[in-house]
Amino acid sequence: MDKMWSGRFSKTASSLLDEFNASIMFDRRLYQEDIEGSIAHATMLQKQNILTAEELDSIIKGLKQIQQEIESGEFEWKISDEDLHMGIEKRLTALIGDAGKKLHTARSRNDQVAVDFRRWTLKKNLSIVEAIKKLMSEILVVAEQHTETLIPGMTHLQHAQPINFAFHLSAYLAMFKRDIERFESSYERNNISPLGCAALAGTPHNVDREMTAELLGFGSVSTNCLDTVSDRDFALEILFNISTMMMHISRLSEELVMWSSYEFGFVELSDEYSTGSSIMPQKKNPDVPELLRGKTGRVYGSLMGLLTVMKALPLAYNKDTQEDKEGVFDAVDTAEISLEILKEAIKTMTVKAHNMEKACAIGHLSATDLADYLVEKCAIPFREAHFITGRAVAKGEELGVDLSKIEFKYLKEIDERIDEDVMEYLALRHSMNARTSQGGTATVRTKEQLNYFREFIAKTNPELLV
């Protein structure tokens, strides 16, 4: 009987149960958090006179040896050990004898795994924040070169109004800033220690939860042990945060796919981050943004999977909760590589400003400016101005010319109140720069936005900015 919990059992667990029940082949990536948690727990037990100084020294030396064995690849992970906690404790006992058996005093696997997984997830909240800032810094580099480059602003994927390319990129900077704020908020909210909750109701041993919380870098201890051992909100939150971030990445990726097509021709992705076709030698495929779109669905699946696991669990801990880790591990891995490769794809892409500006001369992007002119200069009610502008657009369609290039005489024929100064209003660059309201696309306002995001990054990571 090699199970540490097998005292009341008369039969050995079947190999099929071992395989079905075990989590050790994936939760072993929490080994560092587990060893650090055990050292903190043992240190507290010694302070509370539950362990002797000699026993603490032996435990710490044994745990550090185990960490070296894991990192060197010498450690043997066995499915029969169920999870990393049992695997490490079993090895510790083999190394140091009875002192290793005392380590689990005043602790359960329930609060132990809650500590390990929570600390790992908290760290990943912060490391993802740093990765987002690196992506934002590369977007800033591109944006700051194109504060006057015109590009069609769209609604319904139809040409709407002329904007500058930096303004378009600034919209994504705003999205990623919100992502950062979500990850940071999750970190602050979930930075509480479960250690000392034991199985579900606390422990009769004289433990010092504040001490272990401080040793492990938690901001405080949890309030209710029954909730704490079964709480996986921190895991759900990082999955939601990653899902939202990946949605933003997917939207940008969708535009990179479109922009890199012949129909748009706004950007060209580097050969380093493109692929070819097995049959069509002329192809250059935008596989990076396409995969980013696809991986977004993968992350959504992890979020929905864990929500479904948690939705009907009675208090406190249930074995169902073992299904919490693989989806989070996969989502974090996906987020990290997605942020890195999108950063590099943007850093190395070529912006074809000429094609962007050429596209602005299609679709009558300055039509709203004509309506605004009629309101401001001619004191015409907006609804009437809208109708007059519609007639001007129809005339341009008839002539096969964009409204920004239509001859003045045709506008005068439509409404005699229009004067020749209207042509300045219809110029595309004037249209873009006319939108000077706060948050607007005018170059002066776009530069303010970029400076805002630059200052946001500079507060904590000035080294990321060129």
* Residue numbers annotated as active site: 156, 277
> Is residue 351 a contact partner of residue 146, using CB atoms and an 8 Å limit?
yes
- Number of DSSP helices (H) and strands (E) in the chain, helices first: 20, 6
Report CA-CA distances (Å) from 238 to 89, 117, 185, 192, 205. Answer: 29, 12, 10, 15, 34
The closest alpha carbon to 428, from 360, 335, 349, belongs to 360
Q: Give the whole-angstrom CA distance, residue 6 versus residue 80.
A: 12
> Is residue 269 a contact partner of residue 292, using CB atoms and an 8 Å limit?
no
* Residue labelled with tokens 């990946």: 246
The closest alpha carbon to 147, from 167, 126, 175, 171, belongs to 167
345 Rama class: left (phi>0) / alpha (psi -120 to 50) / beta:
alpha
Alpha-helical runs (H) found in 11-108: 15-21, 24-27, 31-47, 53-72, 84-96, 98-102
Residues 6+ apart with CB under 8 A from 148: 164, 429, 443
Tokens linked to 369: 């400016």
Task: Map residue 350 onto helix, strand or coil.
Answer: strand
Give the number of other Cβ atoms within 10 Å of residue 433's Cβ.
19
Q: Give the whole-angstrom CA distance, residue 303 versus residue 243.
A: 8
Amino acid identity for residue 35 in this structure: I
Task: Map residue 153 onto helix, strand or coil.
Answer: strand
Report CA-CA distances (Å) from 162 to 203, 205, 206, 357. Answer: 66, 70, 69, 9
Alpha-helical runs (H) found in 279-360: 287-310, 325-348, 353-359
The closest alpha carbon to 211, from 90, 55, 27, 50, belongs to 50
